[in-house]
Structure 1
Amino acid sequence: MVTSIKKKGALENKINNFIDNVLNIAQTQGKLDYIDIEISNHNGTLQMNYKLRDRKKAY
């Protein structure tokens, strides 16, 4: 049970740090309106990706 709590806390910390970093990057680039974040976990190995989009109306 204790290891489960530690694992959860470690995952929360890493995920929250990643999201904070992505939001900071998006804010500096002025792209807070179009963010795609994908996070997966496989046996403690996090795969975290993000995409920032720059969409402008054509007309």
Structure 2
Amino acid sequence: MQFDSSITTSEMAQKTGIKFRTLQRHISQLQAMGIVVRKDGRKDGYWEVVKNK
């Protein structure tokens, strides 16, 4: 996400070898903690990794 902000969850699962559903669960946890945010929708959007202050 940090190097390719427009990557999809399917592409992430394929590149990392993690099952799609497991990856979704991890991303949901990161979003709940406020570490990762999806901007501008599913298809045309991008990931933003929030930096700690």
If the length of structure 1 is used for normalisation, what is the TM-score?
A: 0.33
Flag the structure with larger Rg: 1
Q: TM-score, normalised by structure 2?
A: 0.36
Structure (1 or 2) with the greater strand fraction: 1
